[in-house]
Amino acid sequence: MNKKTSAIIMTVLLLCSCGSPSETAEETDRSEAYVITETETAPSVILETTLQTSEETVSVTSETASAISETASSEASEAASEIPQTESMMRSETETTPESETEPLPPASEIITETEYSELLSTESYTEAETVSETAVMTTLASVSKEKVTVEVPKIKTGSFSGEKMLENDLAAVDISAASEGVVKVTYKGSGSKVKVRITKGDAIYDYSLDPAGTVFPLQSGSGTYNIKVLENVKGKTYAIVLDNDFEAKVDELSPYLLPTQYINFGEGDKCVYKAAELCTGKSGDIEKASAMFLYITENITYDKELAASVKSGYIPDPDTTLERGKGICFDYASLFASMCRSQGIPAKLVMGYVRGDVYHAWNEIYTSETGWITVDLFLDSKGWNLLDPTFYASASDKAGVSEYIGGGSDYSAVYYY
């Protein structure tokens, strides 16, 4: 990689960063996230935690992962501003031509009568030419009509939550009926305004905010024994455990990355699902489909510097919103791409971690059984999980240089998988 390319990549890395070390340093030490304290008033064990809301300094994994403070790539903004506004520059077919631009009528001596015009049309040479022209047009229209393909939106699998296997009490419930598919659904029945969920397996610890109506979370740590805790805020930084249970799950490697979950949330009626189906119509193979979706996102979604400057802790991306607004931060890019891929049956991860050691960022990995081109520059050269970074690719002026950087993957350090 030459010096110019390296400099451009460094610029993209610095300007598209999703956080600073100071914002996420506390995430690396999870062993002290909960300190049990005694209380005489609380009916259950009270935990003194560092879980906090947008008004507080957040130090838990997913909370900090969500609090992405990114700065837009100036190069991307400049590039976007230079795109010619072709629609406004083109004259409408129905627009009236200004009088000054109309062609003047020929001299009276050259103007023929309607009868003469009819006779001219009846000549053999003209009629033959006209017939050929009309036939060609009709043939072309028929061909286009036959080639028109109906977009078929696939049925979206959401997990078999039958309610047959439940972990529950008066305040919370966990449906583990679909644990073998790599997901669980958690609901809260209490009156607390802030509720958290912690899912642990071995050293892997994932913390989430909980929507009381129910939220689907992934079991991304493979098969084995999981522990799940539901916690409600008592006051300040103090949370009480309202449910604490262990359960066994035998999870296939790909299962958690094929279904909708909290950060990759999509359904059959969503616009991102339809757009994915539209883009993949007529395409064959995962590489060809992933290429169509990756190119669409990187060519149509721009970096949202205003959101990057104002995003708060607890931010959860919405793929349809990103698609409609046509812009987002790295969390949005990764969520949209993962949602579109999963809707097409392509296993996709949303990954949070570091680039070049200190730039907190979100990107994707997709699983394919083939190798091939995603873009003219970016080639997936392994069967299995491959790293893709739609944010960096969309923001870079030097696509080839960034493709080489992304494809190498040596400067990416994954911390959390969703």
- For residues 217 and 262, is the Cβ–Cβ distance under 8 A? yes
Q: 357-378: per-residue pLDDT in tens?
A: 889 999 999 999 999 999 999 9
3-state secondary structure of 237: coil
* CA 349 to chain CA centroid, nearest Å: 10
HSE of 351, CA atoms in CB hemisphere, 13 A: 22
pTM of the model: 0.71
Per the prediction, the chain carries an average pLDDT of 78
Q: How confident is the model at residue 64 (pLDDT cuts 50, 70, 90)?
A: very low
The pLDDT score that the predictor gives to residue 261 is 98
Judged against a pLDDT cut of 80, whether residue 111 lies above it is answered with no
Q: How large is the C-alpha radius of gyration of the chain?
A: 28
Going from the C-alpha of 306 to that of each of 14, 69, 70, 303, 344, the distances in angstroms are: 17, 10, 9, 9, 31
In the chain, the amino acid numbered 159 is G
Q: Which range has the top average pLDDT, 21-35, 36-50, 404-418? A: 404-418
Phi then psi for 100, rounded to 5 degrees? -65, -20
> What is the arithmetic mean of pLDDT over 69-79?
41
pLDDT, tens digit (0-9, with 9 covering 90-100), for 282-312: 999 999 999 999 999 999 999 999 999 999 8
- Closest listed residue to residue 352, CA positions, set 70, 61, 72, 73: 61
Task: Give me the percent of the chain exceeding a pLDDT of 70.
Answer: 65
Residues 302-343 pLDDT 10s:
999 999 999 988 899 999 999 999 999 999 999 999 999 999
Q: At 76, which amino acid appears? A: A
H/E run at residue 287: helix 286-300
